Amino acid sequence: MKTWIQNGHVLDPLTGTDQVCDVLVDGERIKKVGTREEIQRCLESEDVQMLDASGCYVMPGFIDLHVHFRDPGLTYKETLKTGGEAAARGGVTTVCAMPNTKPVIDTKEKVEEVHRRAKEESPVNIIQLGAITVGEEGKELADIKGMAEAGCMALSEDGKSVMNSALYRKGMKLAKKYGLLIFAHCEEIDLRRDPDTGEDGVMNKCQRSEELSLPGITNSVEDIITARDIFLAKDTGVHLHLCHCSTKGTVDLMRMAKAEGISVSAEVCPHHFTLSTDDITEDHGRFKMNPPLREMEDVEALRQGLKEGVMEAISTDHAPHSVEEKDVPMRKAAFGIVGLETSAALTYTELVEGGVLTPMQMAERMSFAPAKILGLKDKGSVSEGKIADLVVFDPSREYEIDTDTFFSKGKNTPFDGWKVKGDVKYTLVDGNVVYKNQAYEEQE
């Protein structure tokens, strides 16, 4: 089956293509990027599906390095199917699923089982990451060699840090040996309590936490482990990817690490570059996430880091929970926010419309750079011969975010009701249209 994407503005960070042209998809690959006449010369029959991309950007499908699909074991929150459908709606064609499920993904067999099921149940590509330690308990290393053989690509203890530095370094060495990356959740567990009250922190430690009488988490909780992990990466030579970065200190440490030539990359989530503690209007679970929302100084540093490319990737840390777990005060709520269906719109509204990134840089941060980090040479580009993972993104559509329309089981977001600009019209995975925006169907 051939698909002809017509009249779209192609943005390809690999080739630098930044112009209106057509794209012909043949099977799972991009066959031709060019003029209408050039596409017509490539057609051998009339059996072709037409997609109208007029007024839209055609970008490489977004690659989200950080999601929680809760499957197996926590499927009342999300499943491979519902998470994949939410991803497709958000223009995300490949995700990295974190291993903190029940049971934890810590063996070759568990990775293989998720990958097998993902091919049957999810409309998007799912790369299952493996845990660094058995059961994420931080006591003994998991089956790193076996998980590498199963194609997990990276290890992560996401949701916590490996606090035993000697064990962590050993795990990093094995990851390096077997060609895996380390995805780091940087959090000094022993410092997560409020330094004044000793109570477990639920938001950033600042004036706003005092006004709400809530226990706070200081920036140092992230910064200390970020520094440790960077130096361990330097010692071992493994590639370190820093997850959900939230502080100015982390941005500064990234600059230092890159200046020294350490193999390190970093992601920022839309909620961290959009919201600050000033936006926490009440003590409610929708504002509780880990790391927490920080102060404006941190938000500005994260935006500058994304602008410079010091922070290469935009990821969501999509973390769905039930209503019962989130529609409560922060002390009782679970940490987490959903993001797959809002990430592109928030990035375009806040960063592109806000003058922080160009549309091309948006494509780079959300697709090309993540593909490069993972070593996915056939993805992250709208160029001939590449896998046809594509998103047709309409930058002009304005609407309000409505959690009632989410494909994800999770509705936990402070962005419900936000006015945004930019929406996904079509998503293609391996050349197949896996999402069509009904809003455009109704207009037609």
- H helical segments located in 188-283: 207-211, 220-236, 248-259, 270-274
CA distances from 37 to 11, 43, 136, 154, 331 (A): 20, 10, 56, 43, 62
To the question of whether residue 335 is assigned a binding role by annotation, the answer is yes
To the question of whether residue 336 is assigned a binding role by annotation, the answer is yes
> Angle at the Cα of 393 (from 3 to 421), degrees rounded to 5?
160
> What distance lies between CA 291 and its chain's CA centroid?
15
Distance CA 316, CA 337 (A): 9
To the question of whether residue 331 is assigned a binding role by annotation, the answer is no
> What distance lies between CA 111 and its chain's CA centroid?
20
> What distance lies between CA 208 and its chain's CA centroid?
28
Coil vs helix vs strand at 181: strand
Which of 199, 231, 230, 203 is closest to 216 using CA atoms?
203
Residue with tokens 């799972």: 28
Distance CA 266, CA 315 (A): 10
To the question of whether residue 68 is assigned a binding role by annotation, the answer is yes
- β pairing state of 92-97 and 62-67: parallel
CA distances from 399 to 25, 74, 148, 199, 342 (A): 30, 32, 43, 40, 12
Distance CA 293, CA 278 (A): 9
To the question of whether residue 9 is assigned a binding role by annotation, the answer is no
Tokens matching residue 354: 């806000």
To the question of whether residue 115 is assigned a binding role by annotation, the answer is no
To the question of whether residue 62 is assigned a binding role by annotation, the answer is no
To the question of whether residue 69 is assigned a binding role by annotation, the answer is yes
Distance CA 173, CA 389 (A): 33
Distance CA 181, CA 184 (A): 10
Q: Which residues are catalytic?
A: 317
- The conformation of residue 420, written as its DSSP 8-state character, comes to E
- The conformation of residue 346, written as its DSSP 8-state character, comes to H
To the question of whether residue 100 is assigned a binding role by annotation, the answer is yes
Check if the beta carbon of residue 317 is closer than 8 Å to that of residue 214: no
- H helical segments located in 21-138: 36-42, 80-89, 108-121
> What distance lies between CA 109 and its chain's CA centroid?
25
As annotated, the binding site for substrate includes 68-70, 100, 290, 321, 335-336
As annotated, the binding site for Zn(2+) includes 66, 68, 158, 185, 244, 317
As annotated, the binding site includes 66, 68-70, 100, 158, 185, 244, 290, 317, 321, 335-336
